[in-house]
Amino acid sequence: MTFSENSKLGELLSNEEAITVLEKHLPGISTNPMASMGKSFTLKQLSGIPQANIPEELISMILSDLSNIPIGEPASSQQNAPSESSQEPLLMNGLVAIVTGAGGGIGRASSLKLSQSGFKIVAVDFNTATGEETVNLISAQGGEGIFIQADVSKEEDVERYTRAAVDAYGRIDVFFNNAGILQKFSLLEDLDVSEFDRIMNVNVRGVFLGLKKVLKVMNAQGFGSIINTASTAGIRAEHSMAAYTASKHAVIGLTKAAAIEYVRKGVRVNAICPGGVDTALTQSVPMMMQESGYMPEEFPNMRIGRFAEPTEIAEIVVFLASDKSAYLTGSIIAVDGGLTL
Ligand SMILES: NC(=O)c1ccc[n+]([C@@H]2O[C@H](COP(=O)([O-])OP(=O)(O)OC[C@H]3O[C@@H](n4cnc5c(N)ncnc54)[C@H](O)[C@@H]3O)[C@@H](O)[C@H]2O)c1
């Protein structure tokens, strides 16, 4: 097997011989931070983006040079990727965690990891098929969970998933307030009001509603740990992502506001700020750019040289869920491979 026009940039950048070919035609590409951001682009997609400025003829020349290289195991860029942890999981048997956005990437990985740590999972997602799949995966690994279909931006749905958790298990120990969506790239002046509202509805209103309903339960219990998913876009601006940036700054504001109100009531509220994580959300970026024909002038610098695996974010979620983080509240934790340095 050899590389084709459907080979992803990330695959090419994991092969020493392919890097040599790429460098011959596109000098500097292997060290360009934009390339590490665009690892899920195929060569075909790259040629379709006008701003990338890679003529189709050049892609043909690259492909011709690549056609003699046998595809081997990914090497350099994956060297520091995580291996399956051999550590004993934290055991929190019988505790209950609600996870929103449980049908995908970070939410699914965290649901599975929390389940391995002993939590019963109330998996919430808009998407019934993927949400149910997460619960099946939990059962397959010997855990327990239920799926609740809900749109986190609708108050009645948030009320319903909160009540479902209490009805099923009688308590909520942990709330991973995670569901969120990415905006379509555009300059602020071109940002449609409807797109701004769509992002704010899910990323801010959804997080707010979750806090509002679950805090009531946790306050009455006198215990609980809440983890909100913000982003590095909540700490710094992301080019061509004004709505997403504003929404994630708001998540950090809500985290601090909630933390200060409940600091003496036994409820901790923290936020995590992932940088680039390999999920459906980031995998949609190349297609989004190709469809719009618009490319931001800047991309975040993924200094560590790779995306995070969702399981690496899940490890932090489990830590924040556990008593090991008992002194943390109102903390805004970057899990970003140095992106915000
Ligand atoms: N992937 C990254 O690089 C990255 C970086 C920083 C922050 N984040 C944040 O992490 C969170 C999870 O992202 P991910 O990368 O796992 O994305 P993902 O798209 O893989 O998963 C998100 C899940 O949320 C669900 N969802 C979306 N809108 C919903 C709604 N209105 N109601 C209920 N469920 C809904 C989706 O169906 C999906 O299953 C988001 O808040 C995102 O902004 C992701």
Per residue in 219-251, pLDDT (tens digit) is: 999 999 999 999 999 999 999 999 999 999 999
Q: Are 251 and 313 in contact (CB under 8 A)?
A: no
Would residue 244 show up in a list of annotated catalytic residues for this protein? yes
Segment 122-139 shows an average pLDDT of 98
Torsion of CA 308, 310, 315, 318, to 10 degrees: 150
Q: What's the mean pLDDT in 63-80? A: 66
In terms of Cβ atoms closer than 10 Å to its own Cβ (0-12, 13-18, 19+), residue 118 is: middle
Instruction: Find the 172 Cα to ligand 1 centroid distance in Å.
Output: 22
Instruction: Compute the CA torsion angle 111, 113, 115, 117 (nearest 10 deg).
Output: -150
User: How much is the pLDDT for 112?
Assistant: 98
For residue 242, which of 303, 281, 200, 277 has the smallest C-alpha distance? 200
> 202: Cβ below 6 Å to ligand 1?
yes
Quote the CA–CA distance of 112 and 314 in Å, as a whole number.
9
CB 271 within 8 A of CB 252: yes
Instruction: Dump pLDDT digits (tens) for 247-286.
Output: 999 999 999 999 999 999 999 999 999 999 999 999 999 8
pLDDT digits (tens, 9 = 90+) for 88-128: 566 678 899 999 999 999 999 999 999 999 999 999 999 99
Interaxial angle between packed helices 310-321 and 105-116, expressed in degrees from 0 to 180 and rounded to the nearest 10: 50
Find out whether the beta carbon of 126 lies less than 6 Å from any atom of ligand 1: yes
Q: What average pLDDT does this structure show over 152-169?
A: 98
Answer whether 127 contacts ligand 1 (Cβ < 6 A): yes
Write down the pLDDT at residue 29. 82
Nearest C-alpha neighbor of 273 from the set 204, 242, 227: 227
Collapsed DSSP state (helix, strand, coil) of residue 138: helix
Neighbouring CB atoms inside 10 A of 6's CB total 10
CA distance 38 to 83: 24
Q: Say if residue 79's pLDDT is above 50.
A: no
- What integer best gives the mean pLDDT of the chain? 91
Let me know: does 269 contact 260? Beta carbons within 8 Å.
no
Strand (E) or helix (H) holding 226: strand 224-229
pLDDT for res 115 = 98
Name residue 140's amino acid. A
**Span 297-325, pLDDT tens digits:** 999 999 999 999 999 999 999 999 999 99
Q: Which of 4 and 100 is assigned the larger pLDDT?
A: 100
Please give the number of the atom of ligand 1 that sits closest to the Cα of 251: 41
Question: Is residue 77 pLDDT above 60, yes or no?
Answer: no
